[in-house]
Amino acid sequence: MRKKLRNLGYVLFMSGTVLFGIMHLAIALYIPNLGGWSDPPGLMVTTLSDIAGWVPYTLSIVFMIIGAFLIVMDLSNNYSWWQNQNVETNEGTQELGAEQNKEG
């Protein structure tokens, strides 16, 4: 189950990144055809409104955030699992060393 969530995180992050790049490409291609813009909304906001790109632009950011969250959660779970394994190994080594010292 954790592997499926990690893979879903990778897919979401990569698809969000690709969609984000495509949206920036669309914005860059539309800017020369833009008649004018006012400064408070800005050039990018005006372009996004003209090409109706708010939904894919926002969706790309949401995909990247959710994907990054799933990846970080999986990595933190693996890290805590690795720490637990090291603690158990160190405790076992200390017990073995104590037994050997009693025998010797």
Percentage of the chain with pLDDT > 70? 75
Percentage of the chain with pLDDT > 90? 46
Q: What is the pLDDT of residues 15-62, one digit of tens each?
A: 999 999 999 999 999 988 888 777 788 888 889 999 999 999 999 999
Residue 11, token pair as written in the block: 């897919």
Alpha-carbon Rg for the chain in angstroms: 26
Contact 27, 44 (CB under 8 A): yes
What's the confidence (pLDDT) of residue 10? 96
What's the mean pLDDT when you consider all of the chain? 84
Contact 49, 38 (CB under 8 A): no
CA dist 40 and 53 (Å) reads 19
Please give the C-alpha separations between residue 48 and each of 20, 65, 88, in angstroms, as whole numbers. 12, 21, 55
Q: Is the pLDDT of residue 104 over 60?
A: no
Q: Is the pLDDT of residue 99 over 70?
A: no
Say whether 3 sits in a helix, a strand or coil.
helix
DSSP string, 32-67: GG-----TTT-HHHHHHHHTT-HHHHHHHHHHHHHH
